[in-house]
Amino acid sequence: MRIMCCLAVAAIMVAGSCAGHAQSIAYRLSGARMTAHGLAGDPGLRPNEQMVTTFDGNDRLTFDAAHSSNYGFYTGRHVGKALAPLGDDSQFAAVGAHGSMAFDLRQFSSATSHLASVSVHVGSLDSYNFVEILGLTSNGDVDYSRPLLTLDGTQMVAAGGRDGRLTFGFDDSVAVGGIVFGSKGIAFEFDSIAISTDRIGLARLSAPVPEPASWALMVGGFGIAGSALRTRRNRTLSLAAG
């Protein structure tokens, strides 16, 4: 029981939630997977997610140039500037040192629908990278002064690794206005931003449930560990009796 409790706490701590919005915003990074070409890449979208930008000229996402700086669009590897996310052979965005890219998400919420999640393919995360989830002012403008959530690279890596798809989920109490990708160091590379108006279970983001196969391995492991402990205890008692 003690071992299982420790595992449960660890699972909850893998992904996180925003202080002050603990029941409102959750995040998780789904690690990169092998593609048909043998490269670890974007693990793909969840059901009902829709792509809103791939930075290849088919963008439906509003870019806020007035709140952006020191960014660029690249393909492949550019030494000292940017490196494509794993498995990404298309054009991607990168933010340089002390730069940022801001996107307006208001168009995806209306009187009849609510922005429930936003996800992005990220690559080679570093501690100096960060993402901000922005709310709205009383006038309905994007509020850049008080982010609802600021997540640094260390927290993102702890949520699933350095490469993969980072997903933020919101409940109906959160009015999301925008998202900012920034970096205090060399670069923050990302691509393929998607959104959904179908609510994602926040518990699934903040406390991932192991798949059946994983549960089987865990239970088997507990059995082996218990058997080993019992054997060791019996040996200790035998030695003491002798």
Residue in 101, 100, 96, 99 with CA at minimum distance from that of residue 81: 96
Q: Is the pLDDT of residue 39 over 70?
A: no
- Per-residue pLDDT of 50-88, as tens digits, reads 999 999 987 899 999 999 999 999 999 888 889 999 889
Q: What was the pLDDT predicted at 205?
A: 62
Query: For 88-143, what is each residue's pLDDT tens digit?
Result: 989 999 999 999 999 999 999 887 888 999 999 999 999 999 999 999 999 999 99
Domain ranges of the chain: 2-209, 212-242
- Locate 173 and state its tokens: 């109490």
| Residue predicted with more confidence, 54 or 47 | 54
Integer-rounded Cα radius of gyration of the chain:
21
Fold of 2-209: Jelly Rolls (2.60.120)
Of the segments 35-44, 171-180, 228-237, which one has the largest average pLDDT value? Answer: 171-180
Which residues of 156-211 form beta strands (DSSP E)? 164-170, 178-183, 187-196
Which residue type occupies 44?
G
Separation CA 47–CA 61 (nearest Å)? 20
Q: Look up the pTM and report it.
A: 0.74
Residue 217 CA: distances (Å) to CA of 31, 82, 128: 20, 39, 36
- Residues 128, 96 contacting (CB under 8 angstroms): no
| Cα 78–Cα 131–Cα 204 angle in degrees, nearest 5 | 115
- The tokens for 26 are 């959750």
Contacts of 32 (CB under 8 A, 6+ apart): 40, 41, 42, 43, 86, 87, 161, 163, 164
Question: Which pair of structure tokens corresponds to residue 151?
Answer: 């997540």
Per the document, the length of the chain is 242
Report whether pLDDT(3) > 50.
no
Joined together, the tokens standing for residue 68 give 């952006």
Distances from the Cα of 46 to the Cαs of 63, 99, 132, 134, 184, in angstroms?
24, 30, 22, 23, 30
Report helix, strand or coil for 7.
Answer: helix
